[in-house]
């Protein structure tokens, strides 16, 4: 797959703070790439370097396999940290200005306003907008030039649950169109819900990088309950059992690779036992994220 | 180039402060330059001894060719209004952090600053054109006799007036970029006259030859004060090319320095 962004050994120091530490990363076309890390882990600083507003201390990166010029940025739609617009201009006028800077066709404005459902408020001044509307206008502005890549930095920060749901729906819709998206967030749940791939950053250092679907692979745990006296013994006999544990009235069976809940169910059925409760637990991204962040500094996984 | 100008004008044309300041500026500029004679008459009528000491009809304020230097010098006083507008326009970009977003959206820092420089050019050219026509018309109205042989003598003061504005607005722009806060920049703009005067008076006794090289002094030297000649004093009634060269040098420096700071 075509590489959209390639980062190599990218570093930024602010005095004694190393905000980004020798970062290596690749984003391919069509990925919805989550950039996960607690506050202050260097996400915004990294995106700032990628967008030409923060000077890297060392390392380099390339967009679309070519050296970067300011023209490159016109093919990227980006909102870093907070929406930024001229408060005294209307949403429409702000977008006209962005379109002028990016060289985007004028008729795209109505289209992107529609996409973020701001058409009815387009002639109101930006300073009268609610935070959710500001975030939506920022996404509209980033979409103006039909960019190859969309960069969103904490797009749901500070929003109420409804605003969050609206933004996530917009992001999913955009992702469904096949656009490459880089989404920085400190919210696991957000990355899990919208991303296909993700990287975890801690204090400027890359801790993990991989596909969201691979999370918890080979680590399936099945919760079982059945009305049978020797259930524990029977479960021990199952050839797919790696380990088992009793939790309340359920047994938690950690399965070996290559086995799944169906195999276990069939095994029990063959033994004449009917499961009253059968639930597959995938190891959640949250658990993995917390584990990654608990790893000592030197354990950098790739 | 036209594209960069369009970008900056788009920011200003829907900004009320811009229309208020520029409206006031151009209105004042047009009215004040055209009504100098009426003002003198009013002075003569109000203060009786003013009229008796001085025969106002003898003051060739609007006569060709004096009108060019007289009007461009007077108009130069109003440039402070434009400079304040320029400072507000650039410091807004820092206050709202829109300069950052402009760069994220694909402008280079050079292009961003050039877009402001082009607006400065437009404001300076518009002022020059306005003053040129006011001078031309009032010259026709008030001059006792019109002769094409000397009518445009001294019209080159319009060009040095243009440079005076542009150099000063470039200086204001640089202050705004370096300081990034409107209030402080405006205060510094005013006090830079004071600071320069203090340095000049202290240096005058030792190195008088470098005084014309001071930035604000070089801007003042573009259109020298003409009125002393009505009190029979010697004045410089031509555009000094040295002054033009020095002012151009400062303009260049104040445009380039924020780009590569
Ligand atoms: N302009 C700056 N000057 C000094 N320190 C900064 C600056 N910008 C960011 N930092 C520091 O760099 C680190 C990373 O910040 P940031 O990239 O904003 O993290 P995130 O976006 O992941 O929350 C933080 O410790 C922050 O304090
Ligand atoms: Mg951040």
In 3D, which of A64, A84, A65 has the Cα closest to residue A75?
Answer: A64
At residue B43, the pLDDT reads 77
Does A41 sit in the ligand 1 pocket, CB within 6 Å?
Answer: yes
Q: Higher model confidence: residue A18 or residue B228? A: A18
Does A38 sit in the ligand 1 pocket, CB within 6 Å?
Answer: no
Is A251's pLDDT higher than 60? yes
Is A299's pLDDT higher than 50? no
Kindly list the residues from chain A whose CB atom is less than 8 angstroms away from the CB atom of residue B100: 53, 80, 84
pLDDT digits (tens, 9 = 90+) for A106-119: 999 999 999 999 99
Q: Count CB pairs under 8 A between chains A and B.
A: 63
Kindly list the residues from chain A whose CB atom is less than 8 angstroms away from the CB atom of residue B10: 93, 96-97, 100
In 3D, which of A293, A282, A296 has the Cα closest to residue A208?
Answer: A293
pLDDT digits (tens, 9 = 90+) for B27-53: 999 998 888 878 877 877 777 666 566
Hey, what domains does chain A have and what are their CATH numbers?
A: 3-214 (3.40.50.300), 221-281 (3.30.70)
The model's pTM = 0.85
Is A182's pLDDT higher than 90? yes
Phi-psi region of A77 (alpha: psi -120 to 50; beta: other; left: phi over 0): beta
Mean pLDDT lowest among A116-125, A195-204, A265-274, B44-53: B44-53
| Residues, chain A | 302
Query: Which neighbouring-strand residues pair with B204?
Result: none
Residues A70, B108: C-beta atoms closer than 8 Å = yes
At residue A216, the pLDDT reads 64
SS3 for A144-160, per residue?
A: CCCCCEEEEECCCCCCC
Query: Which neighbouring-strand residues pair with A295?
Result: none
Q: Higher model confidence: residue B27 or residue B255? A: B27
Q: What's the ipTM?
A: 0.90
Q: Please give the average per-residue pLDDT across B74-90, as a whole number.
A: 96
At residue B82, the pLDDT reads 96
- Ligand that comes closest to the CA of residue A42: 1
pLDDT band at A300 (very low <50, low <70, confident <90, very high): very low
pLDDT band at B208 (very low <50, low <70, confident <90, very high): confident
The distance of A236 to chain B (nearest Cα, Å) reads: 60
Kindly list the residues from chain B whose CB atom is less than 8 angstroms away from the CB atom of residue A53: 100, 103-104
Which strand (E) or helix (H) includes residue B246?
helix B241-259
- Helix, strand or coil, per DSSP, at residue A197: strand
Please name the residue of chain A whose CA is at the shortest distance from the CA of residue B104. Answer: A51
The distance of A110 to chain B (nearest Cα, Å) reads: 18
At residue A295, the pLDDT reads 63
A98 contact partners, CB below 8 Å, separation of at least 6: A104, A141, A144, B105
Residues A51, B7: C-beta atoms closer than 8 Å = no
In 3D, which of A183, A230, A173, A227 has the Cα closest to residue A43?
Answer: A183
Within chain B, what is the greatest distance between any pair of CA atoms? 67
pLDDT digits (tens, 9 = 90+) for A66-115: 888 888 999 999 999 899 999 999 999 999 999 999 999 999 999 999 99
Mean pLDDT lowest among A175-184, B17-26, B119-128, B195-204: B195-204
pLDDT band at B239 (very low <50, low <70, confident <90, very high): confident
């Amino acid at each position: 797959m075509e590489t959209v962004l390639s980062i190599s050994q990218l570093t930024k120091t602010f005095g004694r703070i190393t905000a980004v530490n020798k970062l290596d990363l690749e984003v391919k076309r069509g990925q919805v790439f989550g950039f996960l890390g607690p506050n202050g882990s260097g996400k915004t600083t990294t995106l700032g370097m990628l967008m030409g507003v923060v000077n890297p201390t060392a390392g380099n990166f390339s967009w679309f396999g070519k050296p970067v010029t300011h023209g490159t940025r016109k093919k990227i739609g980006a909102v870093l940290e907070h929406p930024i617009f001229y408060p005294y201009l209307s949403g429409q006028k702000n977008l006209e200005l962005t379109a002028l800077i990016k060289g985007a066709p004028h008729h795209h404005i109505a289209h992107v306003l529609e996409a973020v459902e701001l058409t009815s408020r387009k002639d109101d001044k930006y300073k009268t907008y609610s935070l959710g509307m500001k975030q939506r206008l920022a996404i509209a502005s980033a979409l103006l030039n039909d960019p190859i890549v969309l960069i969103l930095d904490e797009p749901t920060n500070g929003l109420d649950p409804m605003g969050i749901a609206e933004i996530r729906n917009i992001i999913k819709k955009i992702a469904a169109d096949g656009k490459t998206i880089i989404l920085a967030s400190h919210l696991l749940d957000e990355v899990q819900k919208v991303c296909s791939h993700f990287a975890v950053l801690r204090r400027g250092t890359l801790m993990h990088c991989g596909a969201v679907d691979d999370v918890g692979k080979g680590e399936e745990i099945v919760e079982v309950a059945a009305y049978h006296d020797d259930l524990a013994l029977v479960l021990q006999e199952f050839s797919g059992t790696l380990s088992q544990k009793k939790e309340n009235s359920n047994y938690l069976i950690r399965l070996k690779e290559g086995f799944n809940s169906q195999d276990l169910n069939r095994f029990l059925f063959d033994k004449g036992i009917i499961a009253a409760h059968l639930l597959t637990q995938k190891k959640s991204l949250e658990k993995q994220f917390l584990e990654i962040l608990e790893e000592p500094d030197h354990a950098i996984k790739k | 180039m036209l594209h960069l100008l369009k970008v900056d004008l788009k920011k200003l044309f829907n900004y009320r402060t811009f229309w208020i300041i520029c409206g006031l500026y151009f209105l004042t500029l047009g009215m004040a330059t055209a009504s100098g004679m009426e003002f003198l008459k009013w002075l003569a009528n109000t203060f009786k001894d003013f009229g008796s000491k001085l025969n106002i009809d003898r003051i060739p304020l609007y006569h060709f060719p004096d009108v060019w230097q007289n009007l461009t010098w007077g108009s130069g006083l109003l440039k402070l209004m434009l400079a304040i507008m320029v400072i507000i326009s650039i410091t807004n970009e820092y206050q709202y952090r829109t300069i950052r977003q402009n760069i994220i959206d694909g402008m280079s820092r050079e292009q961003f600053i050039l877009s402001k420089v082009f607006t400065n050019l437009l404001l300076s050219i518009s002022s020059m054109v306005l003053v040129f026509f006011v001078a031309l018309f009032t010259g026709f109205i008030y001059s006792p006799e019109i002769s094409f042989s000397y009518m445009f003598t001294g019209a080159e003061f319009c060009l040095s007036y243009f440079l005076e504005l542009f150099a000063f607005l470039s200086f204001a722009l640089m202050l705004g970029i370096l300081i990034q806060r409107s209030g402080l920049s405006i205060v510094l703009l005013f006090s830079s006259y004071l600071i320069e005067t203090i340095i000049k008076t202290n240096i005058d006794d030792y190195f008088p030859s470098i005084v014309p090289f001071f930035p604000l002094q070089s801007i003042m030297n573009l259109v020298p004060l003409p009125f002393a000649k009505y009190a029979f004093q010697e004045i410089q009634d031509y555009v000094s090319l040295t002054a033009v060269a020095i002012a151009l040098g400062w303009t260049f420096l104040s445009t380039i320095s924020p780009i590569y700071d």
